[in-house]
Amino acid sequence: MKFSTERLILRTITEYDASEILNIRSNVEINQFLHRNPPKHSFEALEFILNIKRKSANNEIVFLGIALQHHPKLLGTICLWNFSEDRTVAELGYELLPEYHGKGIMSEAVNCILTYGFKVLNLKKIEAFTHKNNLNSIKLLQKSKFALNENRRDEKYPENLIFELNTI
């Protein structure tokens, strides 16, 4: 799977991306708001990629690497996952290396994946869970027209806010 925007390519990740996935998923600044065990070496990143490929083949996840049009190095990732049983709701996930923050890259990637989710996958709602102190993520979601659902709580991680978008 591959999408192009004005500046970006969103593409399926492969085994060849292991070192870049390691760099993204082990970044301290990115991980400060996430609950995950970062990979410690390329082998763990490769295991992650193989797991993503399996889940993609089973239609459990849409997971794409983000790169600039004329530079294949991955800057981040974006995904739709945690689909509802009836496949009308999915969760949006994303991460971007800090040196690329504030350049509109993630806004462009989010817009592309939202269009795919609503127009191709026929989702009725896309949700995003973000840490209450992750101001960049909150601004991104608000810019993308997500609304905070103040009546919902993340039972597993109470410090998360839940944003929802019903259509674009």
The token duo for 64 is 């794409």
How much is the pTM? 0.93
Contact 130, 103 (CB under 8 A): no
Class of domain 2-165: alpha beta
Q: Enumerate the domain spans of the chain.
A: 2-165
Question: What's the rounded Cα separation, in Å, for the pair 115 and 11?
Answer: 15
pLDDT digits (tens, 9 = 90+) for 12-32: 999 999 999 999 999 888 888
Residue 168 confidence (pLDDT): 64
Q: What is the mean pLDDT of residues 58-64?
A: 96
